[in-house]
Amino acid sequence: MIVMKFGGTSTQDAPAIANVVEIIKAHLHQKPIVVVSAIAQATNMLEKIGKFAADKNDREARETLTQLFSRHFTIIDQLIRHITRNRNLRSVLDAMREEIETIIKGVTILRELTPRTLDTLYSYGELLSSRIVSVALQDHGIQSEWIDTKDFMFTDENFNRATPYLDIIEEKLKSNLLHLVNNGVVPVTQGFIGITLSGRRTTMGRESSDYSAAIIGAALDVDDIQIWTDVDGVLTADPAVVPDAKKVKTLSFKEAYELSYFGAKVLHPNTMLPAIEKSIPIHIYNSRRPQSTGTLVTAALPSTSGVLKSIAYKRNITLISISPQKRIGQYIFWEHIQNVFTKHGITILASVTAEYGYSIAAEEKQTTQALLQDLNDVGIVSINEKKCIISVLGSSITQNPGVLNRIFGSISDFNINMISFGASQFSINIVLEDGDALEAVREIHSELFGEVFTDDIFEVLDQQKKK
Ligand code: ADP
Ligand code: ASP
Ligand code: MG
């Protein structure tokens, strides 16, 4: 049994979904369970619809809704040839559209888009795409059943970033899904969305469909979790920034976790957690080039001590520095600061301390007024906005003599605000000006990976060789 997750770009239009059907067909012997994201941009459009409605901009909300549905109807008409199937699917979509219209009315009246309502709105993206993919499989002669996550993906009530209840999910999946798969049926379900015990839709954070796939994979102890996306695997940098990035053939779970934590969008960081528990390999494949071998993320790797594998970056970072008002005990000062960060749920990307100073790098969107107010009670706070954090990832990084020289030599023209090195064996983190982010990633990449050729770890991609 395997899980195959297809992201938004893999299902963005009718040809893309037809391609997904072919890919699934080629894996039928492995008993796939299919997890899909919303079609490209659908989640953003649903969010816009909600915001327009909350702003009483009913016309824009409806126009965006019309665009969203016309994209889905176009896909259906180009893809589903069987007349009854086509008609039935259209009426399923009509019903969903009516439900969304009712939500828009409610939000417009209340002029408020709560996290709970936003999750209900978000859920339609994956509900729509998964319905279409399931019927597309049937239309191509493959037995498929559409499975609603409301029957198994139970979570807490933390809307917009819900935590799944893994034990309940495992029990439900085993009783609801196993017999289908064993009878040759391909279940198609949704990534990203879950359900509370009282039946309210939740989501597990933007981009979390990869995580959903891993949860399902671990619950059913599958042989492989496959993430099908629009790139050849994990590369030495984001190919949108560094066009000649090389493919990394294998990564450990820990390397992949840190890489995604520090901004590589190709995998949601949580994806690795359920996979580690059950030691299930994760493959990242390109749905546009299904013949390519992808990247394998696994526990069983030969030691690659000291090898640098990739560069990640995050933009819109804020540096927060705090020093005490008066000289209280150092440990008491730190405890106060940590309490504030814990209270506000701040994800600290990097931190440095001096005798009486503490600086952290956090995402700008987490740096709220409420946080700053609480920090002001603890000490003197200074804020530096518009930074980025660049992370160089690998294993046993401190065992790589000269690596710091090479990295800092390549970005000697840039203003460095903070460095974090040594706390983790897997990453070196550097905070720079936000405007320098892309150029600095390219410079570091050219220094570290410019000369890397195909070997046991890296692969120069075919499309680059032709250049
Ligand atoms: P999906 O919709 O399939 O989930 P995403 O857009 O979430 O796809 O993730 C794929 C994207 O991740 C790629 O298009 C690429 O631009 C980006 N990316 C960032 N860092 C990396 C990296 N190190 N390797 C590969 N892709 C990366
Ligand atoms: N559709 C969701 C999003 O855009 C989840 C995902 O794509 O992974 O965030
Ligand atoms: Mg993604």
- CATH fold match for the domains 2-230 and 308-466: no
Mean pLDDT value of segment 62-72: 98
Contacts of 364 (CB under 8 A, 6+ apart): 316, 317, 318, 385
Residue 423, pLDDT > 90, answer no
CB burial class (10 A; 0-12, 13-18, 19+) of residue 94?
Answer: exposed
Ligand 2 binding pocket (C-beta < 6 A) is 7-8, 37-38, 43, 125, 191-192, 206-209
Mean pLDDT value of segment 314-322: 96
Mean pLDDT value of segment 292-318: 89
Residue 464, pLDDT > 70, answer no
Pairing mode of beta strands 357-363, 295-298 = unpaired
- 83-87, 116-120, 447-451: range with lowest mean pLDDT: 447-451
Mutate to test the pocket of ligand 1, among 210, 236, 238, 390 (most ligand atoms within 8 A of CB): 238
Does ligand 1 have an atom closer than 6 angstroms to the CB of 250?
no
Ligand with the closest atom to the CA of 243 = 1
Residue 293, pLDDT > 50, answer yes
Amino acid at 280: I
Kindly report the protein residue whose alpha carbon is nearest to atom 10 of ligand 1. Answer: 266
Question: Ligand 1 centroid to 2 CA: how many Å?
Answer: 22
Mean pLDDT value of segment 118-131: 98
Q: Alpha-carbon distance 363 to 135, whole Å? A: 41
Does ligand 1 have an atom closer than 6 angstroms to the CB of 363?
no
Does ligand 1 have an atom closer than 6 angstroms to the CB of 235?
yes
122 pLDDT tier (thresholds 50, 70, 90): very high
282 in Cβ contact with 361 (< 8 Å): no
Mean pLDDT value of segment 207-221: 98
Instruction: Please tell me which residue, 463 or 288, carries the higher pLDDT value.
Output: 288
Mean pLDDT value of segment 437-445: 98
Question: Ligand 2 centroid to 9 CA: how many Å?
Answer: 11
In degrees, to the nearest 5, what angle opens at C-alpha 122 toward C-alphas 118 and 124? 130
Q: Where does 308-466 sit in CATH, by number?
A: 3.30.2130.10
- Kindly give the number of the ligand 1 atom that is closest to the alpha carbon of 210: 4
> 169-211: per-residue pLDDT in tens?
999 999 999 999 999 999 999 999 999 999 999 999 999 999 9
Residue 450, pLDDT > 60, answer yes
Amino acid at 396: S
357 pLDDT tier (thresholds 50, 70, 90): confident
What is the DSSP code (8-state) at residue 162? -
CA count, 13 A, side-chain hemisphere, 294: 22
- Kindly give the number of the ligand 1 atom that is closest to the alpha carbon of 232: 25
Residue 38, pLDDT > 70, answer yes
Name the CATH code of domain 2-230 (choices 3.40.50.2300, 1.20.120.1200, 1.10.3720.10, 3.40.1160.10). Answer: 3.40.1160.10
- Kindly give the number of the ligand 2 atom that is closest to the alpha carbon of 7: 7
Sign of CA dihedral 409, 411, 413, 416: negative
Neighbouring-strand partners of residue 224: 2
- 266-280, 413-427, 446-460: range with lowest mean pLDDT: 446-460
In degrees, to the nearest 5, what angle opens at C-alpha 381 toward C-alphas 375 and 386? 105
What percent of the chain lies above the pLDDT cut of 90?
86
Kindly report the protein residue whose alpha carbon is nearest to atom 1 of ligand 1. Answer: 7
pLDDT at 242: 97
Sign of CA dihedral 223, 162, 235, 278: negative
What are the DSSP calls for 284-308, one per residue?
EEETTSTTS--EEEES-----TT-E
Ligand with the closest atom to the CA of 265 = 1
The pair of three-digit structure tokens given for residue 69, joined into one six-digit string: 């549905």
Residue 54, pLDDT > 70, answer yes
- Name the phi and psi angles at 430, rounded to 5: -130, 130
**Strands annotated E in 31-136:** 32-36
2: left (phi over 0), alpha (psi -120 to 50) or beta: beta
Please enumerate, as own/partner, the contacts of 276-281 that have beta carbons within 8 Å and a separation of 24 or more: 277/218, 278/217, 278/218, 278/221, 280/214, 280/217, 280/218, 280/221, 280/222, 280/223, 280/224, 280/225, 281/223, 281/224, 281/225
Does ligand 1 have an atom closer than 6 angstroms to the CB of 118?
no
82 in Cβ contact with 139 (< 8 Å): yes
pLDDT at 467: 47
In the chain, what are the domain boundaries?
A: 2-230, 308-466
Q: Alpha-carbon distance 467 to 462, whole Å? A: 9
Q: What SS3 class is residue 352?
A: strand
> 237-273: per-residue pLDDT in tens?
999 999 999 999 999 999 999 999 999 999 999 999 9
- Sheet harboring 144-146: ordered strands across? 144-146, 186-190, 32-36, 2-6, 224-229, 282-286, 295-298, 250-252
Q: Alpha-carbon distance 437 to 315, whole Å? A: 7
- Kindly give the number of the ligand 1 atom that is closest to the alpha carbon of 264: 20
Give the global pTM: 0.95
Please enumerate, as own/partner, the contacts of 61-65 that have beta carbons within 8 Å and a separation of 24 or more: 61/104, 61/108, 62/101, 62/104, 65/97, 65/100, 65/101, 65/104
Does ligand 1 have an atom closer than 6 angstroms to the CB of 348?
no
Question: Ligand 1 centroid to 238 CA: how many Å?
Answer: 7
Question: Ligand 2 centroid to 7 CA: how many Å?
Answer: 8
> 82-101: per-residue pLDDT in tens?
999 999 999 999 999 999 99
> 300-311: per-residue pLDDT in tens?
776 777 789 999
Does ligand 1 have an atom closer than 6 angstroms to the CB of 243?
no
224 in Cβ contact with 283 (< 8 Å): yes
